[in-house]
């Protein structure tokens, strides 16, 4: 086992040395593709990991440079995709926040929210106490399914099932109280 792990450490060390020897042009390549100096080091680390994970096509350093370039370009593309996904996520969250703020300013939305809150309270008051308690523990107190399972002395899947059935019961009561199904999604 130690001979194999020594070989793995040696390969990882050799790969790391190879990336470090080529660091200067790799940083230029990454900077030209990414455009943001803030994530160049992160991409360079990902390149190092990708080199360690993959098998080099040969042992000649001159033949390894094009291979290293391909890996670097691939890691740059992955980093750009990740940044784009994060940007879209943040933009979507900002839009939702603006929508929520504009609704708070509109009196009709305020009235509808108050009415909906009252209907939820009425439905909870008519629910069976065990189901109501489960929903409060889960969604007000923020308990996890494993914490619920410990408190109820049942397996975690049983606690999850009980919460799901309590939610279904609350949904039925809310629909009976006049809240539309489309409002409950």
The pLDDT tens digits for 57-94 are 767 777 788 888 999 999 999 988 988 888 888 887 76
Of 80, 75, 81, the C-alpha closest to 52 is 75
Of 79, 26, 71, 28, the C-alpha closest to 50 is 71
Residue-level pLDDT at 148: 92
Query: What average pLDDT does this structure show over 8-20?
Result: 65
Residue-level pLDDT at 98: 56
Q: What share of the chain is helix, strand, coil (3-state, %, to 5)?
A: 85, 0, 15
* 3-state SS, residue 142: coil
Residue-level pLDDT at 123: 84
**Residue 183: DSSP 8-state:** G
Q: What is the pTM of this model?
A: 0.45
Residue-level pLDDT at 94: 66
In this predicted model, what pLDDT tens digit does every residue of 23-53 receive, in sequence order?
888 888 888 888 777 888 888 888 988 888 8
Q: Which residues contact 126 (CB under 8 A, 6 or more apart)?
A: 173
Q: Which residues contact 73 (CB under 8 A, 6 or more apart)?
A: 29, 33
Domains of the chain (ranges; CATH) run 2-96 (1.10.1740), 107-184 (1.10.10.10)
């Amino acid at each position: 086992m130690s001979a194999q792990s020594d070989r793995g450490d040696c390969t990882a060390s050799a790969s790391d040395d190879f990336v470090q020897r080529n660091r200067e042009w790799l940083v230029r390549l990454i900077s030209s593709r990414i455009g943001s100096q803030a994530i160049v080091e992160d991409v360079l680390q990902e390149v190092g990991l990708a080199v360690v994970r993959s098998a080099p096509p040969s042992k000649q350093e001159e033949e390894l440079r094009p291979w290293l370039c391909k890996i670097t370009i691939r890691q740059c593309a992955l980093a750009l995709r990740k940044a784009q996904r994060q940007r879209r996520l943040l933009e979507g969250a900002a839009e939702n926040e603006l929508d929520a703020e504009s609704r708070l300013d509109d009196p009709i939305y305020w009235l509808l929210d108050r009415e909906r809150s009252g209907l939820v309270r009425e439905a909870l008051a008519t629910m069976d106490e065990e189901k109501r308690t489960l929903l409060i523990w889960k969604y007000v107190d923020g308990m996890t399914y494993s914490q619920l399972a410990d408190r109820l002395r049942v397996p975690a899947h049983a606690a999850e099932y009980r919460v799901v059935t309590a939610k279904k019961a609350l949904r039925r009561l809310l629909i009976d109280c006049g809240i539309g199904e489309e409002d409950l999604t």
